[in-house]
Structure 1
Amino acid sequence: MQPTPTERDNSALYTQRMNKVLDHIDRHLDQDLELADLAAVAHFSAFHFHRVFAAWMGETLGDYLRRRRLDVAALYLVNEPAMPVLEIALNVGFGSGEALARAFKLRFACTPSQWRLQTPRRWAEQLFAARRLAEQQQSNLDQGLSNPDQPPGPLSGNHGGSLFAQTEFRMKVTIQTLPPVRVAYLRHIGPYGPSISRFWPEQVLPWLIAHGLEKEARYGIGHDDPLITEGSKCRYDACVPVPPDFVAKNPAGIAELPGGRYACAEFFGDGPAASLAWTELLREWLPKSGYQLDSRPFFEYYPADACYEMDTGRFECQLCVPLRGL
């Protein structure tokens, strides 16, 4: 049964309100986040909000807050190698380093200090796995285009023999100072990848056309690291710049994409190639760059005249990584 217009309007209103809560939580992780206060952000009663949140996110508010604090702590441990564990604990809302360590070990099966020490090996393994996956996908494509009677060529099973494992980072990267941008956004919650590719034409583009914004540049913001956060809970915002007087109607929200120094890498390829490019940028280019990550969001920037090939799914964009000095 198709939802009625009233049901669609109510769903859009709930979406906008719940996104405001998620954004508020991220901005105030270092504080006590009480149910009543978050309910007020969403304009719900505390009784109603508790149930709406659990139904909407698939986890209780308490579970979400604990998971989000630990996800951000894991990023702090990597991005802030000199920051004491106690300071990280306080920054994400734990009362002590010991409280963080207990919860962290339950979630990640290691202590915060071990997580930090294991970072170089974990990054190397992630880079190799991403290149290995790209190699397998390319091999499958080649086999599909080859003579069906011809046996497939062997895939190398070791690091040294892998074509993609030996590939050097080749994207053009420039360091740029970007201005802040006021954006309207629609949010997708779920795995990155094919579902994001469908989200743009099925939901974002109709909204852009309805508001006369289809010819503007666009941004794609991934708020979560899929190697830390479960895919079904990853948040992605499809954004478009808007003027100061633009009022977002449900289900869209308004945010500011922070300005500052970014590494901007030129990219052209399909979705799987973009995943590999992000991994190479963060796991190979960044450690050698003389910079470290900043806490601002990562994003993809699509110029208004960016190329998109309907038949191949390949697209043009810039991969933008927030930076600060070591």
Structure 2
Amino acid sequence: MAIAKNTDVVADHIKRVNKAIQYIDEHLDSELSIDLIAGIANFSPYHFHRVFKSVVNEPLNSYIIRKRIEKAAAVLMRQKQVSITELYTKYGFSSNSSFTRAFKKFYRISPTLFRVTCPGRFSKISQANSKNGQSPGLFEPYICSVDEQKLQTMNANIEVKEMPELKLAYISHIGHDNLDITYKKLFAWAAEKGLLRDGNIQPLTIYHDSFKITAPEKIRMSACLILKDPITVDGAVGLITINKGKYVVGHYEIKPEDFGPVWGELFVWLSKNGYKKSDKDVFEIYHNDFTQHPENLSRVDFYIPIT
């Protein structure tokens, strides 16, 4: 009984921290005091510091600074017309020098050099892999050195389409490893709710961070199931909505190791065809279990929101 009670407490903490994270990520250009954020999570400021770090494995203030720097990095890559002064003012830095010092701690170069140099060279996942001798990993690089000859063999079917609103049940996941374990927990919950009876359930992964600008171990994702009908959630499972909008959609049947290059291809296609990514998150929808496919192929759709 004690173990079950402790599990319930942890699940409640996760749910409340997720609510705070969502607020932080949507208000990076606003004042984010500990009192405000703790109140959103329904904690006292004293307890929220401890709970936030235990769930996210990062102190609250460090998380906010990192997310603001990463947001600025994304703007530097995509919006050439936005000045450095506008960026550091918008995201709460007192001066160009304080912004530059903070930026260099994450990317080893100044914001100005980051903007004019191919971002793939400085991505967090590239830095991590270069340290241990591995080749570039998932989503790296997007544009700088995509192997177009290989991509042409993937038989891409890319289109631009309007997507309806999607209601989702989700469990938050931090880090690019062990996402399958989080999905097992989500499917176990879905089985208890009777959602698997008709066998027509669609998993969906939302990427709240970019592998180009966020360290792999800090990437935040949501393991989701698309809901057909309203449902009550509990424990670590929450509800999230993807609003309707316009997307570049790539339909593929690929091997697991090709997910990274496919994202690269889609961003190249996006750029070549004059589209711009919006501030919404990218996501994937899966149509089969690749382990049950005779050739271990995944049938998956990749979604990039556009303005």
Which TM-score applies when normalising by structure 2?
0.82
> Which amino acid counterpart does residue 318 of structure 1 have in structure 2?
D
Is 1:35 matched with 2:34? yes
Is 1:277 matched with 2:259? no
Is 1:183 matched with 2:168? yes
- In the alignment, which residue of structure 2 is the partner of 1:203? 185
Instruction: Output the CA distance in 1 between the equivalents of 2:301 and 2:265.
Output: 14
Which of the residues 173, 198, 205 maps onto 1:220? 205
1:189 and 1:232 in contact (8 A); partners too: yes
> Which amino acid counterpart does residue 50 of structure 1 have in structure 2?
H
- In the alignment, which residue of structure 1 is the partner of 2:150? 167
2:248 and 2:270 in contact (8 A); partners too: no
Is 1:26 matched with 2:25? yes
Which of the residues 234, 241, 246 maps onto 1:256? 241
Instruction: Output the CA distance in 2 between the equivalents of 1:3 and 1:289.
Output: 58
- Provide, for residues 230-255 of structure 1, a one-character-per-residue CA deviation record: whole Å limited to 9, x for no partner: 22211111122336743321211222
Alpha-carbon offset, residue 30 of structure 1: 0.7
Change (3 A) 1:35 1:267: same
2:186 and 2:237 in contact (8 A); partners too: no
> Which amino acid counterpart does residue 297 of structure 2 have in structure 1?
R
Task: Provide the secondary structure at the position in 2 that maps to 1:167.
Answer: helix
What percent identity do the matched residue pairs reach?
26
Instruction: Output the CA distance in 2 between the equivalents of 1:273 and 1:243.
Output: 30
Larger radius of gyration: 1
- Provide, for residues 92-142 of structure 1, a one-character-per-residue CA deviation record: whole Å limited to 9, x for no partner: 333454432231123212121211111367499x7xx9xx959xxxxxxxx
- In the alignment, which residue of structure 2 is the partner of 1:107? 106
1:71 and 1:228 in contact (8 A); partners too: yes
Instruction: Output the CA distance in 1 between the equivalents of 2:6 and 2:119.
Output: 49
- In the alignment, which residue of structure 2 is the partner of 1:318? 301
Deviates more, 1:271-280 or 1:6-15: 271-280
Instruction: Output the CA distance in 2 between the equivalents of 1:121 and 1:185.
Output: 30
Q: How many residues align?
A: 285
1:213 and 1:240 in contact (8 A); partners too: no
Task: Provide the secondary structure at the position in 1 that maps to 2:24.
Answer: helix
- Provide, for residues 285-322 of structure 1, a one-character-per-residue CA deviation record: whole Å limited to 9, x for no partner: 2221211211100000235xx46443654321100011
Q: Structure 1 regions of 5+ residues with no counterpart?
A: 135-162
Alpha-carbon offset, residue 227 of structure 1: 3.1
1:79 and 1:294 in contact (8 A); partners too: no
1:181 and 1:257 in contact (8 A); partners too: yes
**Alignment of structure 1 residues 1-326 onto 2, 5 Å:** 4-119=3-118, 122=121, 166-169=149-152, 170-192=155-177, 195-200=178-183, 202-214=184-196, 215-242=200-227, 245-282=230-267, 284-303=268-287, 306=288, 308-310=290-292, 313-324=296-307
TM-align CA RMSD? 2.9
Change (3 A) 1:168 1:56: closer
- Provide, for residues 29-75 of structure 1, a one-character-per-residue CA deviation record: whole Å limited to 9, x for no partner: 11111111111111111111111222222221111111111111111
Instruction: Output the CA distance in 1 between the equivalents of 2:135 and 2:282.
Output: 23
Deviates more, 1:55-64 or 1:307-316: 307-316
Deviates more, 1:216-225 or 1:257-266: 216-225
Instruction: Output the CA distance in 1 between the equivalents of 2:222 and 2:119.
Output: 29
- In the alignment, which residue of structure 2 is the partner of 1:146? none
1:219 and 1:301 in contact (8 A); partners too: yes
> Which amino acid counterpart does residue 64 of structure 1 have in structure 2?
Y
Task: Provide the secondary structure at the position in 2 that maps to 1:8.
Answer: helix
Change (3 A) 1:116 1:30: same
Task: Provide the secondary structure at the position in 2 that maps to 1:300.
Answer: strand
- In the alignment, which residue of structure 2 is the partner of 1:150? none
- In the alignment, which residue of structure 1 is the partner of 2:139? none
Change (3 A) 1:246 1:168: closer
Change (3 A) 1:115 1:248: same
Instruction: Output the CA distance in 2 between the equivalents of 1:176 and 1:97.
Output: 40
> Which amino acid counterpart does residue 206 of structure 1 have in structure 2?
A
Instruction: Output the CA distance in 2 between the equivalents of 1:94 and 1:255.
Output: 31
> Which amino acid counterpart does residue 191 of structure 2 have in structure 1?
I
> Which amino acid counterpart does residue 259 of structure 1 have in structure 2?
K
